[in-house]
Amino acid sequence: MARARGRLRIVSWNINSVRLRAGLLPELVRALAPDVLCLQETKCPDDAFPHAEAEALGFRHRLVRGMKGYNGVAVLSRRPIAPLPEQPDWCGRGDCRYLGVSVDVPGEPLALHDFYVPAGGDIPDPEANPKFAHKLAFLAEATEWTRRAPPRRAVLLGDLNIAPLPEDVWSHRELLDVVSHTPVETEALTRWQRAGGWVDGVRRFVPEGEKLFTWWSYRARDWAASDRGRRLDHVWVSDDLAGALAGHAVLKPARGWANPSDHVPVMVELAL
DNA sequence: ATGGTAGAGATTCTA
């Protein structure tokens, strides 16, 4: 697909099993034409990753970090990519929730951080729920990591599993005690963002106050009719790239595809 | 107040 020189389309998608949904990738490419596609919840050991399907779509450069059954992240790219020298193992669990890559773009390379933040279980109390404690510890570690090395020419994206703004959920009042929108989580996410001067790329295009969701539960009878969504997936850019933000998309129709993920792809375009 | 669905892989966990 032809486009202006120096433009880079970056997509984040929690695909919820890359083996089950590799057949949806052509549809995604038709809709958003990503140059770099970052996946989460691939649920796929590295030796079983569907490389041939990605290669056939023109993603000649791929880095994957997966495991059996759970988690898993991957970066598929039309441009050359290389692993960043630092690959933090958040909370020391080795659970495949992060992949840092350097992307070959015009000018200096771009640093890209693909995250799958722990969902945190059902009970929003770190004393009663170890999964929630893990989520908060992960966020604290990532905040300190950002503080130690302020980002430049960098993109941080993925399923951050938190809807930070009142308009990032279908009902702010009803979700205040629901994991993903509790004050302790939204404040932690805001601290992380501010620690690095990260800019919320999508909210540069969709003003606060306007509802915006990237995830709809599988459990709804009719996800589109009830529209009880949350914005759990994010694309942040370092503040030196704020002026390069050139476009965005949230591919809501993907939630209605056959055998869909419960998350939809989120795209940001940069003019580099 | 409750339960609802989906995926992986093993008879249950995670989301």
pLDDT above 60 (res A1): no
The reported pTM is 0.97
User: Which 12-31 residues of chain A approach strand B with CB closer than 7 Å?
Assistant: 16-17, 19-20
Who contacts A72 (Cβ-Cβ below 8 Å, separation ≥6)? A18, A39, A40, A41, A42, A43, A44, A64, A65, A66, A96, A116
Alpha-carbon distance A74 to A38, whole Å? 6
By C-alpha to C1' distance, B9 is nearest to: A69
Structural domains of chain A, ranges and CATH numbers in brackets? 7-118+152-171+198-271 (3.60.10.10)
pLDDT tens column, A32-42? 999 999 999 99
In this structure, are residues A79 and A103 in contact, taking their beta carbons and an 8 Å threshold?
yes
pLDDT exceeds 60 at position A11: yes
Token digits for A145? 């990591």
Q: CB of residue A150 closer than 7 A to nucleic acid strand B?
A: no
Chain B: positions less than 7 Å from a protein CB are: 3-10, 14-15
Nearest Cα residue to A202 out of A135, A263, A251: A251
Paired tokens of A38: 């970052």
Strand B contact with A40 (CB < 7 A): no
User: pLDDT tens, A172-203?
Assistant: 999 999 999 999 999 999 999 999 999 999 99
Question: pLDDT tens digits for A99-122?
Answer: 999 999 999 999 999 999 999 999
